[in-house]
Each structure stands twice: as C-alpha cells, then as structure tokens.
C-alpha cells in the first residue's frame, strides 16, 4: 500500500510538472500574475531571458518524464528537489498564495527520496550501517493497512494548511481585487488597502510596500 502511494506521488508530481512547464518549452508565459506583483515581476523578467527560459522548461520537462517512469523516478526526484525547494522559498519570500502547494510538493519530493534511501545512502555523508546488521534488524512487511502512515500524511497536510493560514497577516494576493478583498479580515483595513495600492497601482518593490504597511499599522495601533 505504501509502495502504491509512492508511485502515486511520483506520477502526480511528474504530471503536474509536465502540465505546467510545457508552456515554457512553447515560449509562452505560464502565469497571469500582474507585472507589479512581486512574483509576477520576477517571472516576467525570467520570460525575457530568451533561450534560458526555454532551457528551464526543457529541463523540467525531462525531470517530469523521469518521474513518470518507475525505473528513473529516483533520478527525477533527485533532480527536482533543489528546483522545488528553490520555488518554495521564493513563494514564501514574496508571500505568494501558492506557499501551501509548493510546501506539499517539497514534502512529496522528500518522501520519494526517503523511500529510496537504501539506493542513495552511499552518496550521503553519514556513517553507513553494515548490510548484515541492517538485514538482521529488518522487520518483515505487514499486510495490514498502514493507518498510522496515512494518518500522519493527512495530519501533515492539515498542518501545512493551518500554519500558512496564520503565517502572515497580509499577502499581496494574485490580483488587486483579491488583495483588497483580503483587507476585510485585516486588523487595519486602511493600511491593508494602501499596501495593495502600493503593490499594484504604484508598482513599488514588495519590501518597500511592506515597510509602509508596518508603519501605517503601528501608527494606527498607537492612535
């Protein structure tokens, strides 16, 4: 059952990469984010790097195909891990709405690597356990449904969603309307709306808008 879950993860990650990155190979934008959005600004600049943009798309397409083939899934997971980790950190840095999915993609990739630990442990800088000792302490596989394992998977997904819900008091959203709609639940709606205006209408850098927001919020609290 756990093995089937591993194959499902591999195919899910691979198919998701394939569907998203194919547009890069075709030389098209793969996002509708505004250029003034902090992540949209980055992706727009990346789009204009010409064949480097296409190179990234082809590389990720190859990784997707490797993940979809069971024999090469481990190689695909090894190649994709630094890429998805970089994307995940970037999403958190600009407070992108996709932090949840990128975090889950990182965890899925980590699971694939852990599943094949016996194949990659020889290149890791850790003290290796002798094969005889490992075989002696290895427990036989059980045919019982792994309730504990899948319970932990569900709990981890719920934890990622819960933490991301309260991690930031403000996010730029994916559009001006989405950003302003999120101001209703903010402790300082006016400061939130000014933040949205700073991002989308004034086109200022994200960190400058965030500084102005924090100042306006502090000023509102002191009044």
pLDDT at 118: 84
The C-alpha atoms of residue 178 and residue 95 are separated, in whole angstroms, by 14
Rounded Cα distance between 59 and 65, Å, is: 10
Q: Over the chain, what is the mean pLDDT? A: 81
User: Mean per-residue pLDDT for 74-99?
Assistant: 91
Q: Which of 18-22, 28-32, 57-61, 147-151 has the lowest mean pLDDT?
A: 18-22
Report pLDDT for 172: 92
CA distances from 149 to 115, 116, 174 (A): 13, 17, 35
- Judge contact between 37 and 8, C-beta under 8 A: no
pLDDT of 57 reads 83
Answer with the residue of higher pLDDT: 161 or 29: 161
More confident residue, 76 or 124: 76
Average pLDDT over residues 48-66: 86
Extract the tokens encoding 188: 């300082």
Mean pLDDT value across residues 17-25? 59
Question: In sequence order, what DSSP letters do the residues of the chain get, joined into one string?
Answer: -HHHHHHHHHHHHHHHHHHHHHHHHTT-------TTSHHHHHHHHHHTTTHHHHHHHHHHHHHHHHHHSGGGHHHHHHHHHHHHHHHHHHHHHTT-TTHHHHHHHHHHHHHHHHHTHHHHGGGSSSPPPPHHHHHHHPPPPP-S--HHHHHHHHHHHHHHHHHHHHH-S----SSHHHHHHGGGGSSSHHHHHHHHHHHHTS---HHHHHHHHHHHHHHHHH-
pLDDT digits (tens, 9 = 90+) for 92-130: 999 998 899 899 989 988 888 888 888 888 877 766 666
CA angle in degrees (0–180, nearest 5) for 14-18-22: 165
* Unique residue bearing structure tokens 């194959």: 7
- Mean per-residue pLDDT for 64-89? 89
- Take residue 107 and report the two structure tokens written for it: 């965890």
Lowest mean pLDDT: which of 20-29, 51-60, 155-164, 196-205? 20-29
Mean predicted confidence (pLDDT) in 191-198: 93
């Amino acid at each position: 059952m756990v093995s089937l879950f591993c194959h499902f993860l591999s195919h899910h990650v691979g198919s998701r990469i394939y569907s998203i990155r194919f547009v890069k190979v075709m030389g098209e934008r793969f996002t509708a984010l505004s250029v003034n959005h902090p992540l949209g600004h980055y992706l727009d600049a990346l789009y204009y790097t010409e064949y480097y943009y296409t190179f990234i798309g082809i590389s990720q397409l190859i990784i997707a195909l490797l993940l979809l083939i069971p024999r090469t899934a481990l190689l695909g997971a090894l190649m994709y891990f630094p890429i998805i980790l970089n994307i995940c950190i970037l999403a958190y840095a600009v407070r992108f709405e996709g932090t949840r999915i990128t975090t889950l993609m990182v965890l899925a990739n980590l699971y694939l690597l852990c599943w094949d630990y016996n194949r990659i442990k020889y290149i890791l800088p850790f003290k290796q356990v002798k094969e005889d000792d490992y075989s002696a302490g290895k427990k036989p596989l059980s045919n019982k449904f792994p309730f504990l394992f899948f319970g932990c998977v569900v709990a981890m997904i719920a934890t990622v969603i819960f933490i991301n819900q309260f991690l930031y008091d403000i996010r730029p959203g994916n559009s001006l309307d989405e950003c302003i709609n999120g101001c209703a639940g903010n402790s300082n709606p006016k400061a939130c709306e000014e933040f949205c205006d700073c991002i989308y209408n004034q086109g200022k850098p994200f960190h400058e808008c965030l500084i102005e927001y924090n100042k306006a919020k502090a000023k509102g609290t002191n009044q």
